[in-house]
Amino acid sequence: MTDPVPDYTGRDGRLELSAPATPEILELVHAMMAHLWTTHEVTAQQRVRFETSVIEILGNIVEHALVGSAPGDGRRFDIVLDVGRDDVVARLGDNGIPVEMDLSKATMPDELAEDGRGLALAKAALDSLSYRRIDGRNLWDLVVLRGGS
């Protein structure tokens, strides 16, 4: 996780959303990804791996935004999405509490577990997932490569 923070501002086709961190916003982020697929040819496998991972990471942000904060207290997030020639990328940022876990240790729980699968699923589905805390913000970078499937 000592790679430089990728800079997405040169990607002209990117979509950027900033919005309240609420459960309802998940549907709008699905609509953004659906928009990406109408303008780029990405395989079904790559789409499902990307969509699932984005929703897992955003779901965690929303969940932790709600913990210990009254509804409507202004917890927000932002997301950048882009399909490049070689990759599909997402960056999620929020000003919530720092994430107290080691991503490299996120593994699939017991098959009968009812939770704890989110990060392991995103790791398994993505070609790269990284978490950083920068300037009081959580930053998640997600990549699916378009090369194979």
Partner 1 sequence: MTEFGVETRADGVGVVTPEGRLNMVSARRLREVLVGLVERGTSRIVVDLGETTFVDSSGLGALIGGLKTARQAGGDLRVARVSPAVLSVFELTNLDRILRPRPSVDGAFDD
Ligand X SMILES: Nc1ncnc2c1ncn2[C@@H]1O[C@H](COP(=O)(O)OP(=O)(O)O)[C@@H](O)[C@H]1O
Of 50, 56, 82, 141, the one binding partner 1 (CB under 8 A) is: 56
- Taking the least distance from each CB to partner 1, the nearer of 115 and 135 is 115
Helices 25-39 and 44-66: angle between axes, nearest 10 degrees: 160
Nearest-10 Cα torsion for 47, 49, 119, 90: -40
The CA distance from 7 to 88, in Å, is 14
- Comparing CA positions, the residue from 132, 34, 130 lying closest to residue 81 is 34
How far is 41 from 37, CA to CA, in rounded Å?
Answer: 6
114 binds, among partner 1, ligand X, its own copies, none (CB under 5 to 8 A by kind): partner 1
Q: How far apart are CA 73 and CA 140, in angstroms?
A: 23
For 94, the token pair is 């929020």
Least separation in angstroms between CB 76 and partner 1: 18
Binding residues for ligand X, per CB under 6 A? 60-61, 64, 96-97, 99, 101, 106, 115-120
DSSP letter at 41 equals: -
Q: Does 23 bind partner 1 (CB under 8 A)?
A: yes
Q: Does 48 bind partner 1 (CB under 8 A)?
A: yes
Give the one entry of partner 1, ligand X, its own copies, none that residue 16 binds, where binding means its C-beta sits below a cut-off of 5 to 8 angstroms depending on kind. its own copies
Q: Closest separation between CB of residue 7 and partner 1, Å? A: 29
Footprint of its own copies (CB under 8 A)? 12-20, 22, 24-25, 27-28, 31-32, 35, 38-39, 72-74, 76
CB-wise, 27 or 100, nearer to its own copies?
Answer: 27
